[in-house]
Amino acid sequence: MGNNNNTFEAIVIGSGMSGGWSAKELCERGLKTLLLERGRDVKHLKDYPTMNMNPWEFQHRGQVPYEIAKENPVISRCYAFREDAMHFFVKDKEHPYVQDKPFDWIRGYQVGGKSIMWARFTQRWSEFDFEGPARDGFAVDWPIRYKDIAPWYSYVEKFAGISGNKDGLDILPDGEFLPAWELTCVENHFKDIVAQNYKERHVIYSRCAHLTKPEPIHVEQGRVQCQARNLCQRGCPFGGYFNANSTTIPWAQKTGKLTLRPHSVVHSIIYDETKGKATGVRVIDAVTKESTEYFADVIFLNAGAVNSNLILLNSTSRRFPNGLGNDNGLLGKYFAFHNYRGRISARYDGLMNFKTEQARATGGAYIPRFRNVRKQDTGFLRGYASTFNAMRYRGGVNTDGLFGEELKNKLMDTSAPLSPWYIGSQCMGETIPKETNFLSLDKDKKDEWGIPLMKFKVDYDDNDEKMIKDFTEQFTEMFEKAGFTEIHATDSKQAPGLDIHEMGGIRMGKDPKTSLLNAWNQLHACPNVIVSDGACMTSTSTQNPSLTYMALAARAANNAVDLIKKGDLR
């Protein structure tokens, strides 16, 4: 199988949100584990170069320089791609891809992946979400239900640290929560108006991965209370929010069972035709381009939804000429995302004797899905959730011609007038996975490591357009009932992908004829390969998906260890 230095009991491909969990669980259960990351190493605290910088210490005052933005139009559209965090993002020129239809692929190639820069919203799925495809017949039925994943939601929430309120909603189940931040008075006003006028609509504080009141498990990780600095995408010196770098990866390392290998571009998974299973991974050193093979009894694919599809598509053999596990030809198909195009803003001139004084780490209010929940009640399938924020800002300060102490005093003048309340909401809509939305390998173009480029053919459909229209109508109505004025709805027209919630292509299901993975995230046709990142998703629901990835990864890893110990996976 290979020399001892290249042989492990488990290999995990990808060190981000889900890969960190896979590594942690495997190491804790005693498996000698290799964690492969295609990007550079990023160590907690040591490799957050901007974490404590002041605004005036940035050469461009936080803005991305014009030349960099011009050369990188895709990543420049990402909200967090700014001067303080752009070193964590993949530049367009460095890692090209092919777009048959526009797709904004936002990536972070380093240890920790995008868990360093994510938006930290963590809502559970509900039974309604897992039952969705079975009810309306679009996509295939999930092989699991809420009861199967609920204990794993609790498991990862306790370790990661999730703040929120016990809201008692079946559409958005409660979790293991630390205290939540407070809504602003206008957010509470909107909450009251919605409750008075709509039976099935709710305004809550969004659940988010921040340590508002650390538990002993978080202290043991070396993390302390979130300071609500709102600088999270830089990496947090306090460990106040969850990322793999400050939590799962060091937890795995302290077992002595983990080997972390950055700069490791995975070319493909090795399939042994005689043994009838995967036996290892082909890796190309990102710097030297040297090729190496690593071997293990079980392979965990957590490279991010798109790259996990790419690796399986590129893992060909006589047994699997169209990609590992791809007997049904569905690998790369039924790829989906979230519809974030709908926006609406307004102002409110009430409650002017109140102001927003203290920052919150993330979130604000959240409106869970209320369309087509218990029955089909609109002309489109599934539904949407939404954010809701209301803030006031200090304005009216004229600093023309001022500098030095005079400028500082003027900026610190608390008598300057406050703005009215500014209101904003954004649609977070579920898209329907369909065969015409798919990923494939380009037949001619390859990257610098000799791996075919990923090709995207992904687009919105009529269902998405109807959803945006309904979001605009419903939120305009709710805003009017709340007494908001200057209501302005927009459609960002952004390409798929900028939601940064890529899902599918290696979907779970009950039937090997219509899916790639079983209920435990194992490839139907090659059970010792386990895919537990966004690629495994059968449908997308409306919730931010990272918490579900974490729970699925922890569940799949523990099941794999159980099978190994019984001799059923070797």
Length of the chain: 570
- pLDDT at position 447: 97
- C-alpha to C-alpha distance for 524 and 512, rounded to whole angstroms: 6
Structure confidence at residue 124 as a pLDDT band (50, 70, 90): very high
The residue among 79, 146, 148 whose CA lies nearest residue 114 is 79
Q: Which of 207-211, 283-287, 470-474, 565-569 has the lowest mean pLDDT?
A: 565-569
- pLDDT at position 337: 98
Q: Which pLDDT tens digit goes with each residue over 540-557? A: 999 999 999 999 999 999
The residue among 298, 296, 297, 291 whose CA lies nearest residue 266 is 291
Mean pLDDT of the chain: 95
Q: Which pLDDT tens digit goes with each residue over 485-510? A: 999 999 999 999 999 999 999 999 99
Cα-based torsion angle of the residue sequence 314, 265, 74, 345 in order, rounded to the nearest 10 degrees: 100
Structure confidence at residue 395 as a pLDDT band (50, 70, 90): low
Structure confidence at residue 300 as a pLDDT band (50, 70, 90): very high
- Is residue 165 within 8 A of residue 204, CB to CB? The reply is yes
Environment class of 402 (CB within 10 Å of its CB; exposed 0-12, middle 13-18, buried 19+): middle
Does residue 558 carry a pLDDT above 90?
yes
- C-alpha to C-alpha distance for 225 and 215, rounded to whole angstroms: 10
- pLDDT at position 363: 72
Environment class of 495 (CB within 10 Å of its CB; exposed 0-12, middle 13-18, buried 19+): buried
- pLDDT at position 358: 64
Q: What angle do CA 541, 546, 549 make, to 5 degrees?
A: 85
Residues 6 or more apart whose Cβ sits within 8 Å of residue 280: 1, 2, 11, 269, 270, 293, 294, 295, 296, 299
Q: Which pLDDT tens digit goes with each residue over 6-53? A: 999 999 999 999 999 999 999 999 999 999 999 999 999 999 999 999
Report the percent of the chain where pLDDT is more than 90: 90
- pLDDT at position 2: 53
- Is residue 108 within 8 A of residue 85, CB to CB? The reply is no
Does residue 397 carry a pLDDT above 60?
no
| Average pLDDT of the segment spanning 264-289 | 97
| Average pLDDT of the segment spanning 81-90 | 97
Structure confidence at residue 189 as a pLDDT band (50, 70, 90): very high
| Average pLDDT of the segment spanning 334-361 | 91
How many other CB atoms sit within 10 Å of the CB of residue 61? 9
Q: Which pLDDT tens digit goes with each residue over 233-250? A: 999 999 999 999 999 999
- pLDDT at position 55: 92
Strand partners, 300: 12, 530
- pLDDT at position 520: 98
- C-alpha to C-alpha distance for 3 and 536, rounded to whole angstroms: 32
- pLDDT at position 85: 97
Structure confidence at residue 357 as a pLDDT band (50, 70, 90): low
- Is residue 294 within 8 A of residue 9, CB to CB? The reply is no
- pLDDT at position 570: 65
- pLDDT at position 394: 66
- C-alpha to C-alpha distance for 383 and 429, rounded to whole angstroms: 6
Q: Which pLDDT tens digit goes with each residue over 19-28? A: 999 999 999 9
How many other CB atoms sit within 10 Å of the CB of residue 446? 12
Report the percent of the chain where pLDDT is more than 70: 97
Among left, alpha and beta (phi > 0; psi -120 to 50; other), residue 351 is: left
- pLDDT at position 406: 83
Structure confidence at residue 396 as a pLDDT band (50, 70, 90): low
- C-alpha to C-alpha distance for 516 and 532, rounded to whole angstroms: 12
Does residue 313 carry a pLDDT above 70?
yes
Q: Which residue has the higher pLDDT, 92 or 419?
A: 92
- pLDDT at position 414: 65
Question: Structure tokens of 15?
Answer: 């060190």
Does residue 449 carry a pLDDT above 70?
yes
